[in-house]
Structure 1
Amino acid sequence: MTAAPLSGRRAQAARNDELILEAARAVFTADPGAPISAVAERAGVGISALYRRYGSKEALLQKLCGDGLKLYIAACEKSLAMDGDPWEAFATYMVEIVEADSSSLTIALAGTFHPTEELYRDSTRAAELAVEVHRRAIEAEVLRPDITVADISLLFEQLASIKLGDEPRTVELRHRYLALMLDSMRMPPAHRPLPGPPPSEAELEQRWAPPS
């Protein structure tokens, strides 16, 4: 059965919520100490509309991290549900996590708010699933046996730290280095062409250009 369309007011509220979350992610991953007013400004909504949805900055941070955990859980479950090539299942997990970019939230927001009971539960579930994804790849002998779950967690953070050029270029570079990582993690080792061009000298130097 097709869901009934939202009324005009409810549709606008849903759109505002989407704008707020997109803005909050951008603002707080760039500066975890930014005020909540910066989120409202970036989202183009009134501060009162923001506070009607999220009563505090803490609540907004909890929502962002909760959504990130749910994406992580979904990526693990997708990998574990795959039949066939065990390496492809593991590689799919890696790709899905990088595309979800939940590690950017970890880097920026860890220790900046008080987790809720739901966040603790989802965090426990995510950790259990990550262990299972790792265990299957090790037992199938497609993943280097000296790579641990903690190693993989920090590899995700390394990829999330890549920010060069606009968003599409950043995504392209993250996938390039993910491919390089995957080839080094695989048993037996693989050597495939890397996706996307390497960063140019101009791109690297542009990071030092003062704001105009």
Structure 2
Amino acid sequence: MSTPGQPKDPAAYAGPLSGRRAQAARNDHAILSAARTVFLQNPHAPVAAVATAAGVGISALYRRYPGKEQLLQKLCADGLRTFIAVAERHSDAQPDPFTALKEFVRGIVDADVHALTVKLAGTFTPTPELGELSARAGTLAQEIFNRAFEAGALRADADANDIPMVFEQLTAIRLRDEARTAALRHRYLDVLMDGLRSSQGAEALSAPPPSSQELGERWIAPDAIMD
């Protein structure tokens, strides 16, 4: 079984595949799984490291992805599609708006797509397709946040741009034991979400939330930023 946010195992595809197509599907699954692991550790790693980790020849990788740019674009697109699927699943699954928001955040953290997305930001050129997927993901996340905010479930100085920061803090937790990693992420999800919950006597937050421009700037390669 593939974990959320990772490429689907070719064995789970519906319908039989020919020998050559089955091998291509297995190679693609191995490449994408290896790429996630390699680039989480080092987003600047060469594609040769991905081929080695996947157990395929470099020529097999290049037949599927002409270069690192295309491989990174594919990983990011898969991550955004997973984000959208999780958001759609939790958009109205809970009658309580705060619970809906918290379960949405939990779903994204459990899918573990945000960690890779942040690692890859600024390392490749986003495509129009990625722009459309990102816009859709942002709209869904905003709607879930707005529902909780308008219901009075969140503190008055909470902002939708706080949520990506929550994702980042939680997905930064990574131990060798995957079960322990998940447990600790859920522990601190409780802590962080309680910090956003509306409560009497809560002190004002000491700094404003990140702006959309600040979040977007991270997708611009450093050498492309002009003074």
Please name the residue that 2:99 is paired with: 88
Picking from 51, 68, 87, the partner of 2:79 is: 68
Q: Give the whole-Å Cα distance in 1 for the aligned partners of 2:123 and 2:94.
A: 39
Partner of 1:81, secondary structure, is coil
1:167 and 2:178 aligned: yes
Q: Relative to structure 2, which stretch is displaced further, 117-126 or 85-94?
A: 85-94
Please name the residue that 1:19 is paired with: 30
1:183 and 2:194 aligned: yes
Q: Give the whole-Å Cα distance in 2 for the aligned partners of 1:132 and 1:89.
A: 11
Q: Relative to structure 2, which stretch is displaced further, 34-43 or 163-172?
A: 163-172
Q: Give the whole-Å Cα distance in 1 for the aligned partners of 2:114 and 2:95.
A: 28
Q: Give the whole-Å Cα distance in 2 for the aligned partners of 1:49 and 1:131.
A: 40
User: Which consecutive residues of structure 2, in runs of 5 or more, have no partner in the other structure?
Assistant: 1-12, 201-227
- The residue type equivalent to 1:99 in the other structure is D
Please name the residue that 2:157 is paired with: 146
Deviation at 1:183, TM superposition (A): 2.5
Q: Give the whole-Å Cα distance in 2 for the aligned partners of 1:86 and 1:151.
A: 17
Q: Cα distance 1:38–1:80, how it changes in 2: closer, same or farther (>3 A)?
A: same
Picking from 109, 130, 139, the partner of 1:119 is: 130
- The residue type equivalent to 1:146 in the other structure is D
- After TM superposition, list the pairs within 5 Å mapping 1:27-38 onto structure 2: 27-38=38-49
Please name the residue that 1:203 is paired with: none
Q: Is the 8 A contact 2:79 2:117 kept in 1?
A: no
Q: Give the whole-Å Cα distance in 2 for the aligned partners of 1:118 and 1:87.
A: 31
Please name the residue that 2:216 is paired with: none
Deviation at 1:21, TM superposition (A): 0.6
Poorly superposed stretches of 4+, deviation over 4 Å: none
Q: Give the whole-Å Cα distance in 2 for the aligned partners of 1:149 and 1:157.
A: 14
User: Which consecutive residues of structure 1, in runs of 5 or more, have no partner in the other structure?
Assistant: 190-212
State percent identity of aligned pairs: 55
Deviation at 1:3, TM superposition (A): 4.3
Deviation at 1:121, TM superposition (A): 0.7
Q: Give the whole-Å Cα distance in 2 for the aligned partners of 1:115 and 1:46.
A: 27
Higher helix fraction: Structure 1 or Structure 2?
1
- The residue type equivalent to 2:136 in the other structure is R
For residues 15-72 of structure 1, the C-alpha deviation after alignment (integer angstroms, 9 at most, x for no partner) is: 2111111110111111111110000100111111111111100000000111111111
1:54 and 2:65 aligned: yes
Please name the residue that 1:204 is paired with: none
Q: CA RMSD in A?
A: 1.8
TM-score by length of 2: 0.77
TM-score by length of 1: 0.82
Q: Give the whole-Å Cα distance in 2 for the aligned partners of 1:3 and 1:160.
A: 32
Deviation at 1:130, TM superposition (A): 1.3
